[in-house]
């Protein structure tokens, strides 16, 4: 029993000690929590202060920017008000000036009205005097007014026609001399500024064979190789019996170049069979297409043009394989572009636009073998479809007189085209074409009534026409020369110009005995 009571007392003592230490730990934790709370409050207050300072600084900055913007707007408004005030003052001054001028016009109108009335009275007096004069003349001449008019008109008709023709001829001669002097000056300036070698750039239609034995390999068994070549290229391959060459015949110059490159590649490779032929021809077609595009792009970059459609660039490059009287059409187009630009600049026009007209003027020759019609009209339609400038389209369409020029650029292109084509060594023609042109020139002149003889001189650049002296007079000879020149322009195609000489000679012969 005593032990039980001692245990209870010990338990109570231990419990009291536990609560004592527990209270001490609780007080320590409470003090620590109080300190943490105070620290957090201090940090929160500091952050709040910093944020308030930042907000205040931002408000001050925004306010400053707003004040600056308001000042700028105020200055601009003041400037606008000042300009408006000035314009108002100018308008008021103009209104006052117009009012004064209106008053002056009204005064002049009143003055003119008075003069008109006076003039009407004077005209009536003159009319009466004129009628009296006519009656006196009729009495003196014993002729009516109508009869006198007919006699006068008949007597003056031939004289007036001859005088009119002489005046026209004199006026045209003066204008021609002045225009020729100015045009010569411009053309000499242009031609001096441009120099170029006369080099014909064209694809050859002849391939030289390394030896005679290769012919059989090209022809193949039963001609299958040569047939495959012709079918793949669309060209005809002419193989002679003796010459170590193969001539490629065809109208399409691009296909002819593909055929030449393909045959050259096959000869270099040595493997010639239908399958290999198709592969080489396909590769050569891609190479020629790339050459065409590069040639067109080089021409465009040479003149610094922009906004040119890809199809136009491609057609321009195809001109590299076209010739006209042995002159390469792409080189001719470049020359025409240079000449057109220089002429336009001399006249104060847009040189870049004129050069664009000159460069594209013969682009129809690249498609004229595919479409019927004049190459100028075909080229103009092609350019129009691909969004080219209307002035360029009009100039291209009119450079061979198929349509009337729509602007000065059309006339400039005609001149530039003629300069490039007629320069010495630029073009040449076959003997048959030359003889035919000479004969046609003489036939046109001999077909005119009153012509005694006609001779073509200076390789067809001049024609001398001798007329019957009793059939035509001097005025009619002038008309004959002009009509012949017009007819030659309409019926013939020729490079440069043809000078027409009409000669009327009267001879008087006597014999001294």
Contacts for 339 with CB less than 8 Å, ≥ 6 apart: 190, 191, 194, 358, 415, 416, 419, 420
Helix, strand, coil % over all residues of the chain, rounded to 5: 70, 5, 20
Q: Is the pLDDT of residue 233 over 70?
A: yes
C-beta of residue 416 within 8 angstroms of C-beta of residue 358: yes
Quote the CA–CA distance of 320 and 358 in Å, as a whole number. 16
User: What percentage of the chain has pLDDT greater than the value 90?
Assistant: 1
What is the tens place of the pLDDT at every residue in 466-505? 888 888 888 788 888 888 888 888 888 776 678 888 888 8
Quote the tokens at residue 55: 């907000």
pLDDT of res. 2? 63
pLDDT at 325: 64
Q: In this structure, are residues 201 and 331 in contact, taking their beta carbons and an 8 Å threshold? A: yes
How far is Cα of residue 152 from the mean position of the Cα atoms in its chain? Answer: 57
Q: Per-residue pLDDT averaged across 78-89, rounded?
A: 89
Contact 312, 363 (CB under 8 A): yes
Highest mean pLDDT among 3-17, 219-233, 377-391: 377-391
In this prediction, residue 107 carries a pLDDT of 87
Q: What is the DSSP string of 211-236?
A: -TTHHHHHH-GGGHHHHHHHHHH--E
- Using the 8-state DSSP alphabet, how is residue 461 labeled? T
pLDDT band at 200 (very low <50, low <70, confident <90, very high): very low
| Average pLDDT, rounded, for the chain | 80
pLDDT at 241: 64
β partners of residue 324: 327
Per-residue pLDDT at 202: 45
Spell out the long-range contacts of 448-455 with Cβ–Cβ below 8 A and sequence spacing 24 or more.
448/480, 448/483, 448/484, 450/476, 450/480, 451/480
pLDDT, tens digit, 9 for 90 and up, residues 61-81: 888 888 888 888 889 888 888
* Other beta carbons within 10 Å of 338: 22
User: How many Cα atoms within 13 Å fall on the side-chain side of residue 356?
Assistant: 21
Any idea which of 24-33, 129-138, 178-187, 235-244 has the lowest mean pLDDT? 178-187
What per-residue confidence (pLDDT) applies to 199?
44
Under 8 Å between Cβ of 355 and 340 = yes
Q: Which helix (H) or strand (E) holds 433?
A: helix 431-446
Band (326; pLDDT cuts 50, 70, 90): low
* pLDDT tens digits for range 2-26: 666 777 777 777 777 777 777 787 7
Is the pLDDT at 207 greater than 60? The verdict is yes
**Distance from CA of residue 439 to its chain's centroid?**
38
User: Has residue 178 got a pLDDT over 80?
Assistant: no
């Amino acid at each position: 029993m005593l032990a039980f009571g001692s245990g209870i007392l010990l338990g109570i003592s231990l419990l009291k000690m536990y609560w004592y230490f527990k209270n001490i730990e609780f007080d320590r934790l409470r003090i620590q929590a109080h300190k943490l709370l105070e620290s957090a409050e201090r940090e929160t207050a500091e952050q709040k202060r910093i944020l308030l300072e930042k907000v205040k600084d931002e408000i001050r900055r925004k306010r400053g920017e707003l004040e600056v913007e308001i000042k700028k707007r105020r200055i601009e408004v003041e400037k606008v008000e000042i300009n408006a005030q000035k314009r108002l003052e100018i308008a008021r001054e103009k209104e006052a000036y117009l009012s004064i001028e209106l008053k002056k016009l009204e005064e002049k109108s009143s003055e003119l009205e008075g003069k008109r009335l006076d003039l009407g009275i004077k005209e009536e007096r003159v009319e009466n005097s004129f009628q009296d004069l006519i009656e006196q003349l009729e009495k003196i001449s014993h002729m009516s007014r109508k009869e006198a008019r007919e006699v006068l008109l008949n007597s003056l008709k031939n004289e007036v026609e001859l005088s009119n023709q002489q005046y026209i001829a004199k006026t045209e001669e003066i204008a021609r001399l002045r225009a020729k002097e100015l045009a010569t000056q411009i053309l000499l300036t242009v031609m001096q500024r441009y120099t170029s070698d006369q080099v014909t750039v064209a694809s050859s239609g002849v391939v030289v064979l390394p030896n005679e034995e290769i012919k059989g390999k090209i022809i193949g068994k039963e001609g299958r190789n040569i047939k495959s070549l012709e079918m793949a290229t669309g060209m005809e391959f002419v193989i002679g019996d003796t010459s170590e060459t193969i001539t490629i015949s065809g109208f399409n110059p691009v296909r002819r170049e593909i055929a030449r490159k393909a045959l050259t590649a096959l000869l270099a490779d040595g493997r010639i069979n239908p399958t290999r032929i198709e592969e080489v021809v396909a590769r050569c077609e891609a190479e020629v297409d790339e050459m065409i595009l590069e040639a067109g792009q080089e021409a465009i970059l040479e003149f610094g043009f922009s906004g040119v459609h890809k199809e136009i660039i491609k057609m321009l490059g195809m001109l590299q394989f076209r010739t006209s009287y042995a002159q390469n059409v792409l080189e001719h187009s470049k020359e025409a572009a240079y000449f057109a630009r220089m002429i336009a600049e001399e006249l104060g026009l847009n040189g870049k636009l004129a050069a664009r007209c000159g460069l594209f003027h013969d682009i129809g020759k690249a498609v004229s073998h595919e479409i019927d019609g004049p190459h100028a009209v075909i080229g103009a339609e092609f350019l129009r479809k691909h969004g080219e400038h209307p002035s360029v389209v009009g100039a291209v369409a009119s450079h061979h007189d198929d349509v009337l020029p729509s602007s000065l650029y059309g006339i400039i292109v005609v001149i530039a085209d003629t300069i490039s084509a007629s320069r010495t060594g630029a073009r040449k023609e076959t003997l048959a074409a030359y003889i035919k042109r000479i004969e046609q020139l003489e036939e046109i002149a001999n077909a005119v009534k009153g012509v005694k003889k006609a001779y073509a001189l200076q390789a067809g650049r001049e024609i001398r026409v001798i007329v019957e002296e009793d059939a035509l007079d001097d005025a009619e000879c002038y008309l004959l020369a002009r009509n012949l020149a017009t007819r030659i322009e309409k019926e013939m195609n020729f490079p440069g110009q043809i000078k027409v000489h009409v000669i009327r000679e009267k001879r008087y012969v006597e014999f001294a005995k």
